Structure 1
Amino acid sequence: MYNLLIVDDETSICTSLSFALEDNYTVFTANNEENAIKIINECEIDMVLLDLKLGESDGIDVLKKIKTIKPEVVIIIMTAFGTIESSVKAMKCGAFYYITKPINIEELSLLLMKGEEYIKLNTKIKYLSNQINEDSKYNIIGSSKKIKQVFDLIDRVKDIDINVLITGESGTGKELVARAIHFQGKRKEKPFNVINCSAIPDNLLESELFGYRKGAFTGAMEDKKGIIELSNEGTLFLDEIGDMNINLQTKVLRVIQDKEIRPIGSTKSIKVDVRFISATNKELKEEVKNNRFRQDLFYRLNVININLPPLRDRKEDIAKLIEYFIKKYNVKLDKNIKGITAKALEALEKYNFNGNVRELQNIVERAIVLTESDYIKEEDLPEEIFNRENIMVDKDHLIPIFVGEDIKSIEKKVLEYTLKKFDGNRKKTAEILNMGERTLRYKIKEYEL
């Protein structure tokens, strides 16, 4: 629901318009310039109905001030003096449109609907502009120390023709890093192709990688280029490389060493110039030990390793990611969610996020679909967010307790550490420990804290 401010020095007009529009908008009213500017500064106003003759104030001057504070707000001028001159002046100063008094509610409703369409279009344009800007960088959201280290590595390797292995848990954004390396580097004008080694059966993966000649096998009705050849002079991203069949690994190793391929059914080799970027959520060193991954291929792929941190290790980025996903899904789902409540954000910052950024994205999308508010609230989040086993344990919140330690010593530690955590706030400490303040005072005295 959009926020609408009605500004008119006649209280009766504010009241009647508010009554007529309150089912479709969250309505604010002001009877003078001072109150109008105060509301604009303090509230997220989307549209304004502004009287051209506002007591001692000039509506045009008020319009200019509002536009200075919030340029994107939609302002519809109301006037009993519907001269062409005043209307044109208002439009030149940034008014969306004007309507003459007495107000026809149906006409006003149509104007407000057009105002809503303008807001949605403007939001979409801004979002797409931001996407272009983000794509020209990394399209990776975050400013934590660990993600900045990833940015630094991208900057260092993007223009150097060496193979890169990206490691990290599922959902951390490994393909985004691969794309950033390619599209920021010297090969950016050349092809970037992706193949998921775990999504294609072993018997088909070889033909997808190397291509084949007509008649090479049943069903090979014509020549087909493989994705390695299609990536010539560009980059091939081998996602989930740890799931590749060990026999096929041998052939990929030969391509990296010899820089040539031989399509299935062909007697001739084809020279290729391809940069290989690989990714896995497996521990490849363990796979090598267990003879499931070739050691020589591992060393060929792992010239530079970029390890993506799990979301739980960069929780300071969660708020920025949520803001990004809200903007994204507002456009996609035609919603107008303004943000997230402090309690809901706190719950998400404590959550373990085994699915990492991808899981957070799904949670935000789900919340935007389900919420009936302008803000994502705790009740809009999935129940598992609040399950104790899914909540991250902050090491700063742990208390050292040893086997055989007496109960009084343990109780003293709990009181002492909790008081310290809340800067000596007894009320908060008593509330957290589920005890009365009088009992807490007695315990503090008993343990001489």
Structure 2
Amino acid sequence: MNKVLIIDDERSICDSLSFALEDDFQVLSTQNPQEGIEIVKNEDIDIVLLDLKIGNVNGIDVLRKIKHINEDTQVIVMTAYGSIESTVEAMKVGAIHYLLKPINIDELKVFMNKALDFRMLNSSLKNLRNIVVEDYSINGIIGRSKAFTNVLGKVEKVKDIDTTVLINGESGTGKDIIAKAIHFQGARKDERIEIVNCAAIPGNLLESELFGYEKGAFTGAVKKKLGKIELANNGTLFLDEIGEMDLGLQAKILRVVEDMTITPLGAEIPKKVDVRIIAATNKNLLEEVKNGRFREDLYYRLNVITIDLPNLTERREDIIPLSKFFLDKYNKKLNKNIAGFSVEAIRVLEKYDYPGNIRELENIIERAVALTDNPVIELEDLPENVLKFQNKPILSNNQYPISIGMSLKEIEKEAILRTLKHYDGNRTLAAECLGISIRNLQYKLKAYNYED
């Protein structure tokens, strides 16, 4: 049974309410507000029926302490001295309802049942939020290779910093997962994250999707619509594939980044917003700037903190853990019970180049789980384009292939750039490893038009 605590300085009211409720609830009562607070500390109380004036004690102060101890405890305030001011104050502090004495028992039970429904709903929402946060936590992301742990380390550093983040990476590398991890691990995790794929929405519709519009702003605007930016107020706006946005709309996004103001279509007065902006792209935005396809001022406003995602071939150690994760996922989704992978299938999966990165690996595993009749995923369950890699040697991240016909200059360039990348751009360490002077290394990098 649900526990109810009655706090009232009149013993007759405590007794009468206890008698009326004892068949439906486990009832505790006290005339001492301090004792009531101790009961809330030590018991899991679902509802408190609280007198607003308990002798010389202000019930609002008691209410405040109860909500501080357990915000899930629902409080219904009772008083013989009702006023608009006290009602508003009680509601602000956290009371779910306000009843005037003498108490109508039938009415009280209705509000108590509503309070229990609210408590259950609130608990479900908290559990759902915790599940979402756990799913998108850093610990929940698959990948323990050096290349990817560097990314996760950067996520940990920037998650609570209220500044723009630009995520660079090829298609299918998981840019959206990193954006969600930043949001759900950060200070704005209890607010909304709104995701806009700039490549998936036609340019003429993207502005209204982002900024919203007023009723009558254009033909067909029969009612007001809030845009994604306003919906993300106090939370996070994730602009995926921002490199696809046209120049005119880029100028309006720049204003949002700089001034945190928006003007919906058809509106005359700008609105203030408070959003954290995370952008992602599979394009080289600096090249897009040079070619006049992306605004330079917006690029530098977005490029405050950058996270560069490695492609799957740069984190081959993660292929098998990811494959097992997707196997579990599609076993559940397709009601299968595939136990794992054969040794031969594992070897081929490790050798394949994955031009579609993690997304392609997931598709390969989903297909194999759906079609196989074997107890484990075998070679025959993998697509033809993957099987072509059976005889290819597995190269670790500190190796690279030299093809017949490559010139010595091409081989030298590849060796220099890969060594520099291995040492995270540290030219001193790279030069030492290559056995050349820093001056010679800088000369060669200049010849390659290399930029940090």
Q: TM-score range by the shorter chain?
A: 0.5 to 0.7
Q: Deviations over 1:74-126 (max 9, x none)?
A: xxxxxxxxxxxxxxxxxxxxxxxxxxxxxxxxxxxxxxxxxxxxxxxxxxxxx
Q: Is the 8 A contact 1:385 1:391 kept in 2?
A: no
Give the secondary structure class of the aligned counterpart of 1:376: coil
Aligned residue runs from structure 1 range 211-250, under 5 A = 211-250=212-251
Find the aligned partners of 1:242 and 1:398 in 2 and give their Cα distance.
32
Inter-CA distance 397–277: structure 2 relative to 1 (3 Å threshold): closer
Residue matched to 2:284: 283
Give the secondary structure class of the aligned counterpart of 2:166: strand
Q: Deviations over 1:291-315 (max 9, x none)?
A: 0000110111111110110001101
Residue matched to 1:148: 149
Aligned residue runs from structure 1 range 289-368, under 5 A = 289-368=290-369
Deviation at 1:139, TM superposition (A): 3.7
Q: Deviations over 1:43-70 (max 9, x none)?
A: xxxxxxxxxxxxxxxxxxxxxxxxxxxx
Runs of 4+ in structure 1 off by over 6 angstroms are 129-132, 399-404
Deviation at 1:249, TM superposition (A): 0.1
Inter-CA distance 168–378: structure 2 relative to 1 (3 Å threshold): same
Give the secondary structure class of the aligned counterpart of 1:313: helix
Give the secondary structure class of the aligned counterpart of 2:288: helix
Inter-CA distance 181–402: structure 2 relative to 1 (3 Å threshold): closer
Q: Deviations over 1:113-142 (max 9, x none)?
A: xxxxxxxxxxxxxxxx99985444454211
Find the aligned partners of 1:270 and 1:328 in 2 and give their Cα distance.
43
Q: Deviations over 1:278-335 (max 9, x none)?
A: 0000110110000000011011111111011000110111110111111111111111
Q: Is the 8 A contact 2:216 2:222 kept in 1?
A: yes
Residue matched to 1:376: 377
Aligned residue runs from structure 1 range 96-175, under 5 A = 133-137=134-138, 139-175=140-176
Find the aligned partners of 1:279 and 1:386 in 2 and give their Cα distance.
32
Q: Which runs of 5+ in 2 are unaligned?
A: 1-129, 408-452
Q: Which runs of 5+ in 1 are unaligned?
A: 1-128, 405-449
Find the aligned partners of 2:400 and 2:241 in 1 and give their Cα distance.
36
Find the aligned partners of 1:158 and 1:291 in 2 and give their Cα distance.
32
Q: Is the 8 A contact 1:167 1:280 kept in 2?
A: yes
Q: Is the 8 A contact 1:174 1:308 kept in 2?
A: yes
Opposite residue 325 of structure 2, the aligned amino acid is Y
Deviation at 1:224, TM superposition (A): 1.0
Q: Percent identity?
A: 55
Find the aligned partners of 1:167 and 1:390 in 2 and give their Cα distance.
32
Q: Is the 8 A contact 1:163 1:276 kept in 2?
A: yes
Find the aligned partners of 2:162 and 2:213 in 1 and give their Cα distance.
27
Residue matched to 1:58: none
RMSD of equivalent CA atoms: 2.5
Q: TM-score, normalization: structure 1?
A: 0.58
Find the aligned partners of 2:136 and 2:286 in 1 and give their Cα distance.
33
Deviation at 1:400, TM superposition (A): 8.8
Opposite residue 154 of structure 1, the aligned amino acid is V
Q: TM-score, normalization: structure 2?
A: 0.58
Find the aligned partners of 2:132 and 2:349 in 1 and give their Cα distance.
25
Q: Deviations over 1:241-270 (max 9, x none)?
A: 000010100010011111110111111010
Residue matched to 1:207: 208
Find the aligned partners of 1:290 and 1:259 in 2 and give their Cα distance.
28
Q: Is the 8 A contact 2:348 2:389 kept in 1?
A: no
Deviation at 1:392, TM superposition (A): 7.6
Opposite residue 331 of structure 1, the aligned amino acid is K
Q: Deviations over 1:342-397 (max 9, x none)?
A: 11111011101000001000100111111111110111000001235996873858
Is 1:254 the counterpart of 2:243? The answer is: no
Opposite residue 371 of structure 2, the aligned amino acid is L
Deviation at 1:180, TM superposition (A): 0.2
Find the aligned partners of 2:158 and 2:406 in 1 and give their Cα distance.
51
Give the secondary structure class of the aligned counterpart of 2:269: coil
Q: Is the 8 A contact 1:182 1:235 kept in 2?
A: yes
Find the aligned partners of 2:211 and 2:365 in 1 and give their Cα distance.
40
Find the aligned partners of 1:158 and 1:403 in 2 and give their Cα distance.
44
Residue matched to 1:446: none
Find the aligned partners of 1:235 and 1:130 in 2 and give their Cα distance.
19
Give the secondary structure class of the aligned counterpart of 1:236: strand
Opposite residue 344 of structure 1, the aligned amino acid is A
Opposite residue 227 of structure 1, the aligned amino acid is K
Residue matched to 1:196: 197
Find the aligned partners of 1:233 and 1:156 in 2 and give their Cα distance.
20
Find the aligned partners of 1:188 and 1:397 in 2 and give their Cα distance.
41
Inter-CA distance 403–187: structure 2 relative to 1 (3 Å threshold): closer
Find the aligned partners of 1:339 and 1:289 in 2 and give their Cα distance.
48
Find the aligned partners of 2:405 and 2:303 in 1 and give their Cα distance.
43
Inter-CA distance 307–392: structure 2 relative to 1 (3 Å threshold): farther
Deviation at 1:215, TM superposition (A): 1.0
Find the aligned partners of 2:391 and 2:261 in 1 and give their Cα distance.
48
Q: Is the 8 A contact 1:351 1:390 kept in 2?
A: no
Find the aligned partners of 2:157 and 2:170 in 1 and give their Cα distance.
23
Residue matched to 2:102: none
Opposite residue 275 of structure 1, the aligned amino acid is R
Deviation at 1:402, TM superposition (A): 7.9
Q: Deviations over 1:170-226 (max 9, x none)?
A: 000000000000000000001101001011111110011111111111111111111
Give the secondary structure class of the aligned counterpart of 2:237: strand
